[in-house]
Structure 1
Amino acid sequence: MECKFRDCRSKFASAQFTVCCCVIFFFLLPVNEAWKQSKPRLKFSYKDTLMNGSGNPFQGSAESSSFQSLLIDEERGKLLVGAKDLIYILNLENLNKEPKKIYWPAAKERVELCKQTGKKETECANFIRLLHNFNRTHVYACGTGAFQPICGYIDLGPPTEELSSKIDLKTPEPGTLKCPYDPIQPFTSALIDEYLYAGTSSDFLGRDTALFRSPIHHLENQYIRTEHNNPLWLSDPKFIGMYPISDTSDEDDDKIYIFLRETALDTTSPEKAIYSRVARVCKKDIGGQRSLINKWTTFLKARLICSVPGPEGYQTYFDELQDVFLFNTNDDKVPVVYGVFTSSSSVFSGSAVCAYSLADIRAVFNGPFTHKDSPDRHWVEYQGKIPYPRPGTCPSKAFDSTIETTKDFSDDVISFIKNHPMMYKAVYPINKRPVFIQVNGGYRITQIVVDRVNAKDGQYAVLFLGTDVGTVIKALSVPKDNLNAEEVVLEELQVFEEPTPILTMEISSKQTDQTSRYKVWRSNNSVLGSGGQCKERAN
């Protein structure tokens, strides 16, 4: 299919920016018109996607098609797909070209024991839920192991040599604290400096869900976690994503930012409410000396607000975070966080995308803590004395030579953060409003990746939004002034033949040409790769 470019009659036209689509405009209007929405004029069906060569589907094989995880290997041009009892290694240019398989089933005795405990037969398998690059030759993988998680290494060999594909089972590692027992439990992880950070359950029944850090070398036993059975820290959490971010030039100050949703304790509503959170810990946190032993001593969290302002201060909230994407700017210390939220309202069904400045997130973590004197009191701003160093501060010789590790924190600091992990102020999105809204559209947005395009007047973020009916919405959000943005809906693509939820979206860090990046969409039974045949370009 030949791309025919049209001028966009908006700010893009003055920037000499053209796109391969017909576009319509949707403005973030005053609140009495906020729910007026336009639909994209350009739509691609699943058949269109295949015919024009912009989509390359992979359906798996007879052995397995229950896809669980994705990993793009840029250097080799490969895509690793974790499935039930095996891992596929696919060619990025053609997912169906000589796919390799690594079989990794759970032990037979483990499968039988799983079934005897009352689990469904379909659940008693090794679902590969975690794939991370370990080094240039190995990938670290973890699976549910028929409700007994296990981890291992895939030896791919040097990138310059012919690809090998063998799983190292000579030194398998227990996967507890690293991988869920359950194949469908919400889960996120990050492999950083040979430590695995994971938001997952630590037990068979899934009752103890926490934030863990575990060494991936099985000879080491030290781990760090959030405190047991303390709803002030976590209350039935569902982990969404996590990222390492350098807050300052001092490496000792590096932190891990974690995004989740949980049952809210800090609500005035008598009914159960779900709030979205951003949390953070210091990367070099090693726990306390006398209290919070093997527990985080720097764990803090704050509420993420995604809402539409209304008259007289009324807000329409989208409370349930579904996915996050860290969009790097020219300064790697101030990325923009994009989050997809859905409404928990019984009145309407809606989704929204909000963008957050990391500077605003940091400001909330540097602000007041929240406090509650007793169960029958309201949550208020903490007005008492804050111990030194301020709770949540990372130990650093540059900051204070007497505090080299978190074990040097005073009892006052440890006690304070144990009882005051939550910030009083919430984090609001840029311009105090979403950059994209969809209400009563017959679907919910659940996934997001963000690409960038260049124009003469700067860079623009392109949103790729996955839905629970197997479509992808492609849109742009362009700042107009300090309070408003212009939303440009470019196209809607049906990326899966059946209306099945998109569960994962990945985008390559390298461009296939001047403007396009490789993207992958995953449902439970299909994977589709897209190099973007019709692409944005800057003239």
Structure 2
Amino acid sequence: MPVAGLLLWASLLTGAWPAAPTQDHFQAMPRVRLSFKELKATGTAHFFNFLLNTTDYRILLKDEDHDRMYVGSKDYVLSLDLHDINREPLIIHWAASPQRIEECVLSGKDGNGECGNFVRLIQPWNRTHLYVCGTGAYNPMCTYVNRGRRAQDYIFYLEPERLESGKGKCPYDPKLETASALINEELYAGVYIDFMGTDAAIFRTLGKQTAMRTDQYNSRWLNDPSFIHAELIPDSAERNDDKLYFFFRERSAEAPQSPAVYARIGRICLNDDGGHCCLVNKWSTFLKARLVCSVPAEDGIETHFDELQDVFVQQTQDVRNPVIYAVFTSSGSVFRGSAVCVYSMADIRMVFNGPFAHKEGPNYQWMPFSGKMPYPRPGTCPGGTFTPSMKSTKDYPDEVINFMRSHPLMYQAVYPLQRRPLVVRTGAAYRLTTVAVDQVDAADGRYEVLFLGTDRGTVQKVIVLPKDDQEVEELMLEEVEVFKDPAPVKTMTISSKRQQLYVASAVGVTHLSLHRCQAYGAACADCCLARDPYCAWDGQACSRYTASSKRRSRRQDVRHGNPIRQCRGFNANANKNAVESVQYGVVGSAAFLECQPRSPQAAIKWLFQRDPSDRRREIRAEDRFLRTEQGLLLRALQLGDRGLYSCTATENNFKHVVTRVQLHVLGRDAVHAALFPPPASAPPAPGVSAPTPAYQELAQLLAQPEVGLIHQYCQGYWRHVPPSPREAPGTPRPPEPQDQKKSRNRRHHPPDT
């Protein structure tokens, strides 16, 4: 990871973080929000759901070398083109046998929702084959798929003769999550291995080493876990020190009387051969620690997000120190929220090198273990940096094995960088479900762009920037609906090489571009204010930023977004793009002046000018003036409200006019005269002047039924119709027959169209 340009991480490591997230940090608003229809109209997204009789799509493997993406769903394995997921997809139909489905239904399971072959594991076996596993209608099964040696081979078929049991590799129940990694032809999987879903384990199968698992039915090791992710992260240059990390959530063993759920990170040594005595064919290096993601308050009470949902490991130039991004949600029924926390491997290793959790004392409380530590230290890999003389865990002394079985938990927890979340969502109508991160090179450095999936089928694009006053600023660049029928985002993956994001849910798969620069606007100021590291003003439009583009016309300022400095020479016509309109209103009625700036992050002001010689003044919120997100509402219009209204938007000290509205306020008598003019021979009624040209223009507009203005201006007006111009005020009207009254009502009341 280049040091120069990593502004965010520099601020994190030097302590440039707010004492507490600001309110804006909690309630981020997207600069651009696109519906699924609007997203498709941009031409930057493609949606795949060819298979109408299947559900539960999961992106399980991205293969950049073959230009393919492998997706599992109910009864199908898909191979999709990374360039265009709709171009010649390769499809394998892999369903459970009818006999097995019948047995599944007879056992009490749902024939449609559970008794199918839900593909849950796709791992690369070698250059030509994949290893795939499915639930098999509550009888997990695995086999190999031939994908060819090259992308041009266009090969994709199942090898049924190599079908084998999937127990310990894939769950029986499709609702239970699994996390797996295939390393050196050995499969490591966190999975439930029984029909009832009560026996959870971290398994090692296949390969030449001994099959291994965690201690069975031992709540200190695993307590009703949900597995999220598995990742190999080396500790040092010594291969024997390599460890596989599992991320999961489980019921807390520290508080057995409460239903609390804790997020965990566990690890095992790849060369673990198990122990002896009580740990034969069981891990003798398994350790776990709590992952904390919480918001500290001034009173010292922390608001915790404990439900781990997703993990993304961002690789750096140092393979031993990737950056860990994790999505959490709150587990309580009262407080609803989500957060993204970031962890460093240095902090994780420090916790695993710290004290072990131990129960002792009269109240049998959890305390740090303070007794004599056996050698080698429990959790150390054999043949590694600290145990060069021990070639196998079977050589470990009895006290090490016994200690490991009873002390798998570390006393200290792993806290995120600066001990607080990077992104927080509270009070929102959704929860975050997934995260993917891309590193982007911009004109002023390298930035981390977060793509956050939600349970309502949207993806948010977010960057977090350090501010000059020792705080951070979260910017939600866009939020897009990625599915026609909203469904929670299940999995996501990024191809930086192709600048594409791939998103999967129960209803299908969508791939979309990482950037839609043209959506920010057609002006240099709009492009600069967006502060999207993917985009820059090229002199004519907001377009994809490339380091090789001409510097003379390129304008980009991600950190500050200052269009006054960056767009000098391009801002002359900023106010000429304002929307100008004319509106009419009637005394006593209401008028709504619409103003929707391109950015919801801009501060809006309304200015009023009665005539060109008058001074403009700002409209303050009061009884008759109501400011909304869509514009300004004027209630009970008065003749003095006529004039020019200007809506201005200010963002980063850059101000421009969004809308100008010339409002004409008409008296009721004049409107009535325009609507129902007297015959040419009839003299005007006393007190009613002849129609002015403005009123005549209004009468012409109202006379056009297709415009629909009759309905707009006259709703509620008929209840207060003044006397006819043909009659003097106070002249009594003779009674009229009922049929004539109905005829008059039909004539005077316009149809409700």
| TM-score, normalized by the shorter chain, greater than 0.5 | yes
- Aligned to 2:153, the other structure's residue is in SS state coil
* Matching residue of 1:526: 508
Distance 2:362 2:229 in 1: 31
Distance 2:108 2:48 in 1: 33
For the Cα contact (< 8 Å) 1:69–1:130, is it kept in 2? no
**Closer/same/farther in 2, CA of residues 186 and 448 from structure 1, 3 Å limit:** same
Divergent runs of 4+, >3 A: 27-36, 397-402, 455-458, 479-484
* Matching residue of 1:97: 87
In the TM superposition, 1:65-84 aligns within 5 A as 65-84=55-74
* Matching residue of 1:173: 164
| 1:55 positional shift | 1.1
2:353 is aligned with 1:373: no
| 1:455 positional shift | 3.2
- Aligned to 2:282, the other structure's residue is in SS state coil
For the Cα contact (< 8 Å) 2:26–2:424, is it kept in 1? no
| 1:460 positional shift | 1.6
Q: RMSD of the TM alignment (CA)?
A: 2.3
Name whichever structure is richer in helix by fraction: 2
Tell me which of 183, 202, 208 is aligned to 2:199.
208
* Matching residue of 2:426: 439
**Closer/same/farther in 2, CA of residues 144 and 503 from structure 1, 3 Å limit:** same
* Matching residue of 2:561: none
- Larger Rg computed on CA atoms: 2
2:20 is aligned with 1:30: yes
2:39 is aligned with 1:49: yes
- Aligned to 1:360, the other structure's residue is in SS state helix
Identical aligned residues as a percent: 44
* Matching residue of 2:451: 464
2:497 is aligned with 1:511: yes
* Matching residue of 2:155: 164
Name whichever structure is richer in strand by fraction: 1
Distance 2:409 2:254 in 1: 9
For the Cα contact (< 8 Å) 1:479–1:485, is it kept in 2? yes
In the TM superposition, 1:325-364 aligns within 5 A as 325-364=312-351
Distance 2:66 2:21 in 1: 49
For the Cα contact (< 8 Å) 1:28–1:486, is it kept in 2? no
* Matching residue of 2:232: 244
For the Cα contact (< 8 Å) 1:431–1:484, is it kept in 2? no
* Matching residue of 2:438: 451
- Aligned to 1:359, the other structure's residue is in SS state helix
For the Cα contact (< 8 Å) 1:139–1:154, is it kept in 2? yes
For the Cα contact (< 8 Å) 1:60–1:525, is it kept in 2? no
For the Cα contact (< 8 Å) 1:57–1:528, is it kept in 2? yes
Q: Deviations over 1:461-485 (max 9, x none)?
A: 1100000000011101234589743
**Closer/same/farther in 2, CA of residues 44 and 62 from structure 1, 3 Å limit:** closer
- Aligned to 2:40, the other structure's residue is in SS state helix
2:174 is aligned with 1:186: no
- Aligned to 1:380, the other structure's residue is in SS state strand
Counterpart of 1:45, as a letter, is S
For the Cα contact (< 8 Å) 2:273–2:394, is it kept in 1? yes
Distance 1:108 1:343 in 2: 41
- Aligned to 1:372, the other structure's residue is in SS state strand
**Closer/same/farther in 2, CA of residues 156 and 371 from structure 1, 3 Å limit:** same
2:262 is aligned with 1:280: no
| 1:486 positional shift | 2.5
**Closer/same/farther in 2, CA of residues 52 and 31 from structure 1, 3 Å limit:** closer
* Matching residue of 1:259: 247
- Aligned to 2:364, the other structure's residue is in SS state coil
- Aligned to 1:101, the other structure's residue is in SS state strand
| 1:414 positional shift | 0.4
Distance 1:144 1:378 in 2: 41
Counterpart of 1:126, as a letter, is N
* Matching residue of 1:7: none
Q: Deviations over 1:341-376 (max 9, x none)?
A: 001233321000000001100000000011003794
- Aligned to 1:520, the other structure's residue is in SS state strand
| 1:526 positional shift | 1.1
| 1:260 positional shift | 0.6
* Matching residue of 1:126: 117
For the Cα contact (< 8 Å) 1:354–1:429, is it kept in 2? yes
Counterpart of 1:303, as a letter, is R
Q: Deviations over 1:100-134 (max 9, x none)?
A: 21121112221121111111111212111111111
| 1:160 positional shift | 5.2
Which of 1 and 2 has higher RCO (CA within 8 Å, sep 6+)?
1
* Matching residue of 1:24: none
* Matching residue of 2:215: 227
Distance 2:390 2:195 in 1: 39
Distance 2:512 2:392 in 1: 46
**Closer/same/farther in 2, CA of residues 50 and 397 from structure 1, 3 Å limit:** closer
Distance 2:70 2:400 in 1: 44
For the Cα contact (< 8 Å) 2:20–2:295, is it kept in 1? no
Distance 2:21 2:38 in 1: 37
Distance 2:144 2:153 in 1: 18
| 1:270 positional shift | 4.8
**Closer/same/farther in 2, CA of residues 398 and 475 from structure 1, 3 Å limit:** closer
Tell me which of 123, 139, 152 is aligned to 2:143.
152
User: Which is further off, 526-535 or 421-430?
Assistant: 526-535
Q: Deviations over 1:390-424 (max 9, x none)?
A: 00000016533431011111100000010011011
For the Cα contact (< 8 Å) 2:328–2:339, is it kept in 1? yes
**Closer/same/farther in 2, CA of residues 325 and 481 from structure 1, 3 Å limit:** farther
Distance 2:280 2:290 in 1: 27
TM-score, normalised to structure 2's length? 0.65
- Aligned to 1:361, the other structure's residue is in SS state helix
Q: Deviations over 1:169-216 (max 9, x none)?
A: 11212100000111121211111111111111110111101111111x
For the Cα contact (< 8 Å) 1:153–1:168, is it kept in 2? yes
- Aligned to 1:362, the other structure's residue is in SS state helix
**Closer/same/farther in 2, CA of residues 483 and 223 from structure 1, 3 Å limit:** farther
Q: Structure 2: which 5+ runs fail to align?
A: 9-16, 518-533, 535-544, 548-753
Tell me which of 230, 233, 258 is aligned to 1:271.
258
Distance 1:370 1:318 in 2: 22
**Closer/same/farther in 2, CA of residues 489 and 202 from structure 1, 3 Å limit:** same
User: Which is further off, 375-384 or 446-455?
Assistant: 375-384
Distance 1:340 1:84 in 2: 26
Tell me which of 83, 86, 106 is aligned to 2:96.
106
Tell me which of 50, 55, 61 is aligned to 2:51.
61
For the Cα contact (< 8 Å) 2:493–2:503, is it kept in 1? yes
Distance 1:32 1:503 in 2: 30
User: Which is further off, 228-237 or 131-140?
Assistant: 131-140
| 1:166 positional shift | 1.3
Counterpart of 2:98, as a letter, is K
For the Cα contact (< 8 Å) 2:26–2:426, is it kept in 1? no
User: Which is further off, 466-475 or 393-402?
Assistant: 393-402
**Closer/same/farther in 2, CA of residues 43 and 210 from structure 1, 3 Å limit:** same
For the Cα contact (< 8 Å) 1:31–1:310, is it kept in 2? no
For the Cα contact (< 8 Å) 2:59–2:69, is it kept in 1? no
Distance 1:32 1:439 in 2: 12
**Closer/same/farther in 2, CA of residues 160 and 310 from structure 1, 3 Å limit:** closer
